[in-house]
Structure 1
Amino acid sequence: MQTILSNIKIQVNNKIYVKDPETSALGKKIINQSILLIDEIGFDNFTFKKLGERIGSNESSLYRYFENKHKLLVYLSSWYWSWIEYRLVFGTSNIDNNFEKLKKAITIVTEKIVDDENTEHINENVLNKIIIAEFTKTLHTKEVDDENKEGFFLIYKRVINRIINIINEINPEYPFAKSLVSTIVEGSLHQHFLRDHLKTITDCNEIINPSDFYIDVALKVLKK
């Protein structure tokens, strides 16, 4: 699978950026260093001025790629979910048993992420930490409806719908497949956050991970 993924270009809606950062060395540097800087100081404290100083480039050059830092965060999120989608497609393609396919799919979208060496300019492990901490900021805005119409969250929704389809194959009569899957995907981010920062209000720890919890929930619900 790694060989296949290394030959695939991650797709992101071209309305999110001004210039595709994947098309230049500076663009890739912006993506690489923005991930590291956001992880270090948090998105609220992140600015294009600070990023420009970090990469030794004029702040104005960053605006040639993104209109603002919100669009940059949406780009990083879209890239992440597109990468997850490719892993989801290839990771479940040869599994015939639908329950096993569901378990694999849940694991892929909820597990702790390690860096993929096939993408040299993006550290997926660090990007995952940003998604855990900051992803809701791409959605919880006044512009969410307009951005949704522009297709900004299409890849994220596509990941969820792929898992919904697996549940429908298992039990087409189950009435809450959409709510279940969206809860699993976004809830796992919250459980990772709690495990790292508020340990006393989650059962997830060094031994029990969010994948274990959500697989247990899904299988118990669907086997009733």
Structure 2
Amino acid sequence: MNSILSNITITVNPKLFVKNPETSELGKKILEQSIILIDEIGFDNFTFKKLGERINSNESSIYRYFESKHKLLLYLSSWYWGWIEYKLVLATNNVANSMERLKRAIIIVTEKIEDDSATLHINEAILNKIIVKEFTKTLLTKEVDEENKEGFFLVYKNVINRLITMIEEVYETYPYSKTLASSIVEGALHQHFLKDHLKTITNCNENVSPTDFYLDLIVTTLKK
């Protein structure tokens, strides 16, 4: 899969950046080091000044790529979900059985993420940790409706819509396919967080993964 992904460019809404960071070494360094720094200190404590110090560059040079750290987080989130969507498509392509196809999709969107060596400046394992902890900060804002109209969450919704289609292929008349699909994608992030930080309120642990739970959930829920 890595060899295939290495030939694919993840497309991100151009309204999220001033200059495409993928077009220069500085831009790629901004992406690479912002992921590492946000993971180290958290998004609330993250600033462009601190990032500039990390990459030995002026703070103003970062603003030439992103107008705010919120837009940077939206960019990273969009890139992540675009990467997940590519993995999902590759994992389910040419799988004839609808339940098997759905199970493979569930694994992709709920499993623990390993770094993909095909993308040298993006560490997906660390980016996943950021998505688990910080993704809701892209959604739970006063600007969410306007940003949704701008298409900032389109790739995230694409992943969910693919799951919706697969659920309906398994059980055409199931009345809650959208709610189930969005609950799986968002819930998996939450269960990974609970597993690492609030262990007493989840059954997920070193032996039981969020993937195990959601595979069991869909089989039980979609029994006809």
TM-score bucket of the superposed structures, by smaller chain = over 0.9
- Which residue does 1:19 correspond to in 2? 19
Structure 1 Cα separation of the partners of residues 194 and 171 of structure 2: 31
CA distance in 2, matches of 1:36, 1:209: 25
Give aligned pairs, total.
224
| Cα distance in 2, alignment partners of residues 35 and 9 from structure 1 | 19
1:211 deviation in Å?
Answer: 0.6
Q: Distance in 2 between matches of 1:164 and 1:5?
A: 24
The superposition leaves residues 58-93 of structure 1 with CA deviations (integer Å, 9 ceiling, x where unpaired) of 000000000100000000000000000000000100
Structure 2, gaps ≥5 residues long: none
Q: Is the 8 A contact 2:2 2:117 kept in 1?
A: no
Aligned to 1:9: 9
Q: Distance in 2 between matches of 1:48 and 1:3?
A: 33
2:68 maps to a residue whose letter is N
Residue in 2 aligned with 1:192? 192
- Residues 32-71 of structure 1 correspond to what in structure 2 (within 5 A)? 32-71=32-71
Shift of 1:94: 2.3
- Per the normalisation by structure 1, the TM-score is 0.99
SS at structure 2 position matched to 1:66 = coil
Aligned AA for 1:192? H
**Corresponding residue of 1:134:** 134
- What is the CA–CA distance in structure 1 between the aligned matches of 2:173 and 2:196, rounded to whole Å? 37
Give the secondary structure class of the aligned counterpart of 1:172: coil
- State the shift of 1:21 in Å: 0.2
Q: Which runs of 4+ in 1 moved over 3 A?
A: none
Letter in 2 for 1:96: A
Instruction: Tell me the secondary structure at the aligned position of residue 44 of structure 2.
Output: coil
Give the conservation status (yes or no) of the 8 Å contact 2:160–2:182. Answer: yes
For structure 1, the 5+ residue unaligned runs are none
Q: Which amino acid aligns with 1:51?
A: L
Which residue does the alignment assign to 1:74?
74
How far off its partner does 1:2 sit?
Answer: 2.1
Letter in 2 for 1:144: V
Q: Which amino acid aligns with 2:38?
A: I
